[in-house]
Structure 1
Amino acid sequence: MEYWSEVREIEASKLIFIDESGVNLALLRLYARALIGRRARGRKPQKRGRNISIISAISLEKVVASVNIYGAVDAVTFEGFILKEVLPKIKEGDCLIMDNAKIHLGEMVREIIEQEKARLIYLPPYSPEFSPIENFWSKVKATLRKLALRELLCK
């Protein structure tokens, strides 16, 4: 309830949601078509390759900032993303919303955001449904599956 009472007072155009997600270009489509009684067939990569982390900040209108890196995101990488990619694009009064992941909780993150006269709000624990960026990740991963990038890169 505290989250909603805080967020409902903020103009929607000032909300920016930040999160990271991991992907692998070996993602496979979840569904396929086949003739009745036949099994759908497709190629599956032998090697998964390296994992890619995507850190993004989105508003309700556009992608504000996005960075892809190999491997996992740590606190230093996340702080660098905020400093170099997000801060130059936010305005006074904007509100950055993120989950309670350990890498988001650093005091430096709060300080650098508040120096720009922006607000930082954390989602309630275990509440990804309150953040539109989760739907964004779903669409990104579905698109990667559909494009079958692993086949393009392996040719």
Structure 2
Amino acid sequence: MIDRVDYQGEGIGLVDDKGRCAIPASLRAALAANSPRADGKDGGSVIIGAHRSSPCLIGYDERYRTELKALAAQLQAAYLAKHGTHNPNILREIVQGEPVPFDGSGRFIMPAFARFRAKIGANAFFYGTFECFEIWDPRTLIESDVAEVMKDCARFHCQQKGIAL
């Protein structure tokens, strides 16, 4: 296990027509700590990809890839033991995502396919889940089978920004 700072916090980000959005400060601080730039400047790289089982995206740092590779190996070994063959979809689901740069204010451009897949429009709700953070379309989140506290959190942040759900 790699020693990393947990992703804790939440917030709503406005998404423009080009997919530009800002990572909330609490999550951005963890991201910067987990993948500091070699030159010591603010900003860096975040990997944005589809969540394996929920209709949202996940964001994480480069160092988390090691843990994802270990997870993929475990899942592949279990599948092989049970079925006697490999399942290429295990890797396809886990490694889906692409690194994108973010600046010192946390602004990044959400990959077009990822945004399309998660149905993210003009607003993106960010929610830290220790190892990574999730990015949701607020309406999709509220209609999904997730913890009520998370739904309430999204409702609260939308209300604070004057976003009608």
State the TM-score, normalized to the length of structure 2: 0.23
In our comparison, the structure showing a higher alpha carbon Rg is: 1
State the TM-score, normalized to the length of structure 1: 0.24
Q: Greater relative contact order: 1 or 2 (C-alpha under 8 angstroms, separation 6 or more)?
A: 2
